Structure 1
Amino acid sequence: MHKYFVLSGIFLLFEYIFHVLGTWRLYQKAGMKLWEIIIPIYNFYILLKKNNLSKWYILFLVNPLTSIILLFIFWMDLIHSFGKNKKKDILFLFLSLGTYIYYISFFEKVYFSKFKTKKEKEDNRGILLATILAFIIHTYIIQPFVIPTSSMEKTLLVGDFILVSKIHYGLRMPMSPISIPFIHNKTIGKIKFYIPIFKWPYFRFPPFQSIKRNDIVVFNFPKDPNHEIIDKKDHYVKRCVGLPGDLIFIKNGILFVNNKKEKFFSKKQQAYFIKTENIPLNIEYIKNKMDIKDLEFIGEINNGYYYKIMLTEKEAIQIKNIFGNIVFIKKDIFPSNFKEKFIFPNSYSWNRDFFGPLYVPKKGEFLKPNKKNIHLYKEIIFYEKGEKVLLSSKGYRIKKNYYFMMGDNRHNSYDSRYWGLVPEDHIVGKPIFIWTSIDWDRKHPWNLFSWKFRWNRIMKTIE
């Protein structure tokens, strides 16, 4: 914890020095005394007064993320006071990360006119305040997400817009302090919308509740190859089926946790093979009336029509009862001797339906590498320690808790069966609410004319 706040203090000091060196000449031209410009905290108090901003804005200085916003407000008002009030000036200021103000201060002949009046300030104050508060809520309390894939159907549907609490499992403080607000990890070519060289250590406040088995969890994808900083890795949402200390085993497509069969839940989906005779399935009826979207027509052989569909057990029974020409409907289960490509860990002959046993490590446990677990845990030790695991090693004490995640759409989910365990520092938060839901064309999601609101899912809590 102390390391995080020490680095935050150093960063705030750097901000202060950067601000003073780049603006002191302009502020002197504006009539301010040198001591008013350089005394920490007091100088910002004076600037708030001159810019007709409330004094409580100074609270934004204690946090690196909000202090950057406050500095940009000061810089925009300052260059405006020297006639630099065109859109291109504001754009240069942002794109140069503030260094444009050095250019104005030291390389241009500019003349002070006046600071913005209170009336001019009030015109933009509401938007400014709303933006800052939204940024604080987005960063530290609740963040909105949209569900882009079907890996959690029927629990979470493609097009569900959800709110995720960042405080239920303990607020994880931001690790990348310099980034564009409200933009996660977008890139243009190799240019990232954040500065990766500034990286804070991991720190999380105590949780209001711990992760429970079968909780739905939002987390950063551990194997994201494009982003090194944890909180800038891609976001995933899955169900946590394995807690630290659990033994995970999948047999014939059925999950066992600590040698106990998972409890039945009606929204779990799996792949089914269906064959009809003479007449094909009514695809439009299945998609529109039964709200079943993951459907693939395999082909026709001798008046037999073959399909692969993601269904719950209840939906499989319904389809069998509705269509009288069904020859068979059965689950698409891989055989136990089939080794699926890219399964975790890839040194074992496992697949999505026959997986494990896999022990989920917990913090504080002592791990002794051997021939059986060397491939299984080498990446955990490498992740924590940054060293390769040797069989001659005396052992290693696990530093973090780990979790095993699976999608409810079991045969259409890229989850822990394929890429491994989720470290506790990758946990983002708990989905709590669906605030709206849109059923769109999955092949053409930007076709707005095809959008339909799912009224029964709007303002719905996530169980």
Structure 2
Amino acid sequence: MYQYLIFSGIFLFIEHVIHILGTWKFYKKLGIKSWKILIPIYNIFILLKIYKRSIWWIFLLLIPLTSIILILILWMDLIFTFFKKTNKKFFLFFLSAGLYIYYINFFKKIPIFKIENIKKKEENIGILLAMIFSFITHTYIVQPFVIPTSSMERTLLVGDFILVSKIHYGLRMPISPIYIPFTHNNIIGNIKSYISIFQWPYFRFSYIQSIQRNDIVVFNFPKDPNHKIIDRKDHYIKRCIGLPGDLISIKKGVLFVNHKKEKSFLEKQQAYFIKTENIPLNVEYLEKEMDVKDIEYIGKKNNEYFYQIMLNEKKAVDIKNLFENIIFIKKYILPIHFKEHYIFPNHSDWNRDFFGPLHIPKKGEFIKLNSKNIQIYNEIFNYEKVEKIDIVSKKYYKIKKNYYFMMGDNRHNSSDSRYWGFVPEDHIVGKPIFIWMSIDWDRKSPINIFSWKFRWDRIMKTIDGKHSYLSLFFLFSFVYLIYFLFKSEKSSTQ
């Protein structure tokens, strides 16, 4: 925490120096004494008081990005106090990211202006304050996400809009604090939305609840090749099936944790082979009536049709009972001797259905290193920034972080820890808590809004599906509408 505060203090001091260098003459023309101008934070307080802005704005200095916004607003106040507002000045100010004030401060003659002549600001700043409040909420409390892939079906569907709590597992403070608000890592293409020069040390507040086995977790993808800063890496969402210290193994597609078979749950999907005779499978009915999306037609042979479909056990039974032309429907389990090239770790003989046993590293434990497990823990040395030369001479290594093993509920259609390894604790983002909107769109053309259908049974529901607040949402919307109409009618009669 102390390191984080030190970095924040350094950033605030640099910001203070930049502010003073760009506004010194403005302060002097307003009759402010030199010693007052040089005092950090107090000089901002003076401007807030002069322009009759709320003193509460001073708290925006506590956050790097909002402090920049506050300073830019005050710079505009100064410029348009001494000079006439023109579109040209607005354009130059924003094009230079505010540094236009330096040109005025050093190269233009600034007229004398009396503080008592400054009128109270009347412009509407409600939208700006709402955006700042929304940004703070988005960054430090709860963040919205949309589910783009089917790796978590049937728990979370493509088109589910979810809210993720950042405080349940402990609020992780921003590591890259300067970025374009409401963006993550890229704007368009490979154009980054953040400045990587300023990087804060990792710091996380105490958790409300620790990660439990089978929790659904949002995290930054550890193996993201395009972004090196932890909180700018791509977001993933999976189920945590392995905690620090657990032993993971998969046999015939069945997961075992610490030698115990996982408890079956309805949402888990796997690949099924289906063979029909004489008549093809009614794919349209499956998609529209049974909400089965991942259907792959393999081919036809001698009046027999072959398919691979992602299903849970209940759907598999329903389909078998529904279609009389189905010859067989069975899980597609890879044979034990089949080697998947991209499985974790490299050079192993495992696959998605025969995996492990694999020990998940736990903070503080000592790992005995040998030729067999050096590949397994190779990535950990990168996460913990340890030189591999230092490891070669050691027989034991002390783990510095906790690690987790993540898997998608759509077990045969998920890129998860079986393929890219462990998730370090500093990559954890938060806990999904709510589905506030759900849209069933055409997966081949998601931007075609005319094909969108609202999943009313999923809107305003908790992630576990136990509680629905859709009725309360409609009630709130109705009350707000009545209030708005009453307020409009009252104002029109005055």
Counterpart-to-counterpart distance in 1, 2:30 and 2:188: 39
Partner secondary structure for residue 415 of structure 2:
coil
Question: Which residue is equivalent to 2:487?
Answer: none
The residue type equivalent to 2:216 in the other structure is: I
Identify which range, 6-15 or 26-35, moves more after superposition: 26-35
**Distance in 2 (alpha carbons) for counterparts of 1:375 and 1:61:** 46
- Residue identity matched to 1:429: G
Instruction: Report the counterpart of residue 341 of structure 1 in structure 2.
Output: 341
Equivalent residue number for residue 459 of structure 1: 460
- Using the TM superposition, give the Cα deviation of residue 383 of structure 1 relative to its aligned residue in structure 2, in angstroms: 2.1
Specify whether residues 157 and 396 from structure 1 end up closer, same or farther in structure 2 by C-alpha distance, changes over 3 A only.
same
The residue type paired with residue 378 of structure 2 is K
Aligned to 1:261: 261
Task: Determine what percentage of the aligned residue pairs are the same residue.
Answer: 69
2:165 aligned partner: 165
For 1:41, the equivalent position in structure 2 comes to 41
Q: Which runs of no fewer than 5 residues in structure 2 stay unpaired?
A: 465-494
- DSSP-derived class of the 2:318 partner: helix
CA-CA distance at 1:87 after TM superposition: 5.8
SS at match of 2:68: helix
Say which is worse superposed, 349-358 or 380-389, in terms of deviation.
380-389
The residue that corresponds to 2:120 in the other structure is 118
Distance change (3 Å), C-alpha of 1:11 and 1:158:
same
Q: Which moved more, 1:40-49 or 1:395-404?
A: 40-49
The residue aligned with 2:440 is 439
Instruction: Note the C-alpha offset of 1:112.
Output: 7.6
Distance of 2:57 and 2:205 partners within structure 1 = 25
- Aligned-residue offset at 1:212: 0.2
> Partner residue of 1:428?
429
Counterpart residue number, 1:418: 419
User: Structure 2 length as normaliser, TM-score?
Assistant: 0.89
Q: Which amino acid aligns with 1:414?
A: S
Q: Is the 8 A contact 2:25 2:110 kept in 1?
A: no
Q: Report the CA distance between 1:331 and its aligned residue.
A: 1.1
In structure 1, what residue type is equivalent to 2:428? I
What is the aligned residue count? 461
**Change over 3 Å in CA distance of 1:380–1:93 after alignment to 2:** farther
Matches within 5 A, 1:276-295: 276-295=276-295
What is the rounded CA distance, in whole Å, between the counterparts of 2:367 and 2:440 in structure 1?
47
**Deviation of the 1:30 alpha carbon:** 4.7
Deviating more after overlay: 397-406 vs 184-193 = 184-193
The 8 Å contact of residues 173 and 202 in structure 2, kept in 1 or not, is answered as: yes
Shift of 1:128: 2.0
**1:183 alignment partner in structure 2:** 183
SS in 2 for 1:192: coil
Aligned-pair distance for 1:18? 0.8
Give the Cα separation in 2 of the matches to 1:456 and 1:89: 52
Residue identity opposite 1:418 in structure 2: Y
For residues 53-452 of structure 1, the aligned pairs below 5 Å read: 53-83=53-83, 85=85, 89-90=89-90, 92-94=92-94, 96-108=96-108, 117-121=119-123, 123-124=124-125, 126-188=126-188, 190-388=190-388, 390-452=391-453
Q: Structure 1 219/85 Cα, relative in aligned 2: closer, same or farther at 3 Å?
A: farther
Residue 56 of structure 1, CA deviation: 1.4
1:455 partner SS: coil
**Which sits farther off after the overlay, 55-64 or 109-118?**
109-118
Q: CA deviation at 1:40?
A: 2.0
Larger CA deviation: 347-356 vs 63-72: 63-72
For residues 93 and 409 of structure 1, do their structure 2 counterparts lie closer, same or farther at Cα, with a shift above 3 Å needed? farther
Task: Summarize the Cα distance change of 1:91–1:405 in structure 2 as closer, same or farther, 3 Å threshold.
Answer: farther
For structure 1, which segment, 403-412 or 48-57, has the greater mean C-alpha deviation from structure 2 after superposition?
A: 48-57
Q: Is the 8 A contact 1:374 1:391 kept in 2?
A: no
* Structure 1 position 188, deviation (Å): 3.9
Q: CA deviation at 1:68?
A: 1.8
CA 1:317–1:65: 2 relative to 1, 3 Å: same
Whether the 8 Å CA contact 1:66–1:132 is kept in 2: the answer is yes
Shift of 1:91: 5.6
What letter is aligned with 2:208? F
State which drifts further: 287-296 or 54-63. Answer: 54-63
Aligned mates of 2:462, 2:149 — CA distance in 1: 20
In structure 2, what residue type is equivalent to 1:438? I
Alignment of 1:5-24 (within 5 A): 5-24=5-24
